[in-house]
Amino acid sequence: MKYTIRGWAGYYQELSIDEVRFNNLKQARICLSAALAIEEKYELLISNYLDLEKECLNVASDYMIRRSTDYSGFFDIRLAFNRRVVNLLTSTKLYIDQIQQHVKSCFPDRSDIGGNVKALFSSEYDSFFEYRFMEALRNYVQHRGLAVHSTSLGSKWTSQEADAELEFKPRLFTHKTEVDGDKAFKKQVLKDMAEKVDLLYAVRVYVGSISKIHCEIRDLVASVSEDSRHQILEAINEYEVINGEKPVGLNAISSIPKEPVDETIEKFPVLLEWDDIRLDLIKKNKSLANLSKRYVSNSAYNKA
């Protein structure tokens, strides 16, 4: 068997490598692909969470100006919030179900790594009612009903002072009476529920917990991802030295020598542009510590 690195389109020089290096490069690509998938699924989750928060701000702004209180208007608002929550819960399901496999792909020789990842989720599940509630609600939404059972739109003055502002805020609720009829709903979670659960607060705690888990997973795969990137970069640099310029479509190839051309058995790209996206996503999505205590305000009153 012959192992080489060379450009795929047109005539290019060949860089000979051995089987060990070929397999190491293949695993490096698998690792970086998995690390990118981890960041992509987290980005999907965070984007859906942002959509929910933005929907809240849109509804509050609309109510501040128009003060619409008709039944059809409230129905449309509840439907819009349910759409956002369903999208968020779907993306959390995708993230949680697939994350272990992606991490395992980065550590093919570690049989314990899946259990380590599972323990991160279990810790947050045990620590926060809101996390347990959102997990139970996700199952309910998948099989039984919707998440947002009522909404409220209200306003209040921030203080009694002359510089007080009139604040508008939407609230979303899940009703205990609605989920009580689902025999599959976790009994302990149901027991711990108030009659109405503030859904936006629960979402913030839940997403904050997933953010914490994600940052721990990111740290877990950081070293092996960096090593994988270095292996591929080293191969690219070596090839550029013999080729004299940056190649187009660089591939690692295993082949059987034949005339007039070798028979290709396996090939995969050797490049890093796609991994740059992973690094961009890491920079973009920082830790969301204390998310449940954060909120956005567009207050315009100058109190200085």
3 state SS for the chain: CEEEEEECCCCCCEEECCHHHHHHHHHHHHHHHHHHHHHHHHHHHHHHHHHHHHHHHHHHHHHHHHCCCCHHHHHHHHHHHHHHHHHHHHHHHHHHHHHHHHHHHHCCCCCCHHHHHHHHHHHHHHHCHHHHHHHHHHHHHHHCCCCCCEEEEEEEECCCCCCCCEEEEEEEEEEHHHHCCCCCCCHHHHHHCCCEEEHHHHHHHHHHHHHHHHHHHHHHHHHHHHHHHHHHHHHHHHHHHHHCCCCCCEEEEEEECCCCCCEEEEEEECCCHHHHHHHHHHHHCCCCCCHHHCCCCCCCCCCC
What was the pLDDT predicted at 71? 66
What was the pLDDT predicted at 263? 85
Residue pair 204/292 in contact (Cβ under 8 Å)? The answer is: yes
Spatial CA neighbour of 125 closest among 17, 22, 205, 214: 205
What was the pLDDT predicted at 14? 87
What was the pLDDT predicted at 198? 97
What was the pLDDT predicted at 287? 94
Spatial CA neighbour of 94 closest among 56, 128, 52, 142: 142
HSE toward the beta carbon, residue 194, CA cutoff 13 A: 9
pLDDT tens digit at each of 304 positions of the chain: 999 998 876 667 889 999 999 999 999 999 999 999 999 999 999 999 999 999 999 998 888 888 776 767 788 899 999 999 999 999 999 999 999 999 999 999 999 999 999 999 999 999 999 999 999 999 999 999 999 999 998 888 888 888 888 888 999 999 999 999 888 999 999 999 999 999 999 999 999 999 999 999 999 999 999 999 999 999 999 999 988 777 778 999 999 998 888 888 999 999 999 999 999 999 999 999 999 988 888 777 665 5
